[in-house]
Amino acid sequence: MAVMYKSTRNDKDKITASQAILKGLSDDGGLFVPDNIPALDVDFETLSKMTYQQVAYEVMSRMLTDFTEEELKHCINSAYDSKFDTDVIAPLVKKAGANYLELFHGSTIAFKDMALSILPYLLVTSAKKNNVKNEIVILTATSGDTGKAALAGFADVPGTKIIVFYPKNGVSPIQEKQMVTQKGDNTSVIGIIGNFDDAQTGVKNMFNDKELAKVMDEKGYQFSSANSINIGRLVPQMVYYVYAYSRMVANGEIKAGDKINVVVPTGNFGNILAAYYAKEMGLPVAKFICASNENKVLYDFFETGVYDRNREFILTSSPSMDILISSNLERLIYRIAGDSAEKDVELMTALSTTGKYEISADMKGKLSEFYGNYASEKETADTIKRVYDAEGYIMDTHTAVAATVYEKYKEATGDTTPTVIASTASPYKFTRSVMEAIDSAYASKSDFELVDELNKLSKVKIPQAIEDIRSAKVLHDTVCDKSEMEAQVRRILAL
């Protein structure tokens, strides 16, 4: 049965998966959602004997039904190859009473690689399927990791350009260096004076600007997105939760059909939503544990049913989660509103005009499988040190937020269900925060000295992504005010 896609804000019109991937964001400002989520009709014993690439095909072929087997397998095999430093692509590491799903073995050492390695192939295939003649302009806001992963994925891909906006003082030094040294004739990187929410709002405004779209079309361009608002990002993220479950079956930790819990450090809500969609497909998940940092808008939402972004924006040591407008939450809101575009529009209009909305008691009742909590900066650092002292295992700050919240969940509930923690970035990406958490004496060292110290402590090889930027030349040094984002796009595209 074909899966079609509709907007969260208008469920009358339906389009194919390839058309949704091409558009990124619906014309009405809504996000594309599947009109049904088919069952994964392959048993977990069979999946447990499959490679990552084979599991990816089983999951993605159910969701992207207008792609042929040949097209989809080409995309998958082109994405999940030697760009990853391990054949298993996403290792499951048992430490400190949980299974850490290491999603950072790709070329930019963050979980965004899991989807952004395949998105360029999905997008180029979609363009061919739909006879698109325009050049595709990937327009993206990043809180740190999406930017580099998207740049790496799209660099020099024929028929595309990529423009990335990031908060100038809101990412780690390593994250910034990765982006501003990016090669590729079709790449542009711009720092904005503002935070991630400002960057994301600016990008959404350009997507919704009909006049800009008309001018671009006349010049032979059209926008698409590499953010997790693009369904072509979300579907590949479903894969690794199914794969993690299959590994737990394979290693005898669980039997096929047993339930697991999933803990996800959460900012824009895409990663945890992918787990939720995987459950809709048949993955036996009992609880979705949503971990926030001090920007705890999601924790407050799960506690109260009120989403309120009217609060101080806090810069933390886990910058990829420094987000107050969690865009992908809209897809869950649409779902718990009974797939009501009318209700979704009402709530999203309230968010854009007053900065908050409140869901009904009935909708809140449908969130019972979610648990939310948050970790303070001190708790995050303490967890990094505690796990290192006990296990010799070093995690990054975002993973430490998740591990902290998992401990709070166990303490509150006594639940001992086997659990997967999404480990979303290499500690090498956040060396200063990680090393200072282990020992404050490291504070006097430079960022790249800390890389070498982390290597000594962890005995984990320094990733190529870090070696590449040690002496790389800065190629992108443009900084603009958040109000000048469209002007920068017009300049780059010579509109």
For 134, other C-beta atoms within 10 Å of its C-beta total: 15
Closest CA to 25 of 37, 40, 10: 10
Question: Is 407:375 a contact under the CB 8 Å cutoff?
Answer: no
What DSSP string describes 171-184? S-HHHHHHHHT---
For 85, other C-beta atoms within 10 Å of its C-beta total: 15
Closest CA to 396 of 450, 325, 321, 318: 318
From the candidates 14, 73, 94, 112, which is the catalytic residue?
112
- What number of CA atoms fall less than 13 Å from residue 142's CA on the CB side? 31
Strands of the sheet containing 285-292, edge to edge, are: 92-95, 98-102, 419-423, 260-265, 285-292, 370-374
219 is catalytic: no
| Both tokens assigned to 94 | 């048992």
Coil/strand/helix, residue 21: helix
CA–CA separation, 292 and 484 (whole Å): 31
- Give the residue numbers marked as catalytic: 112
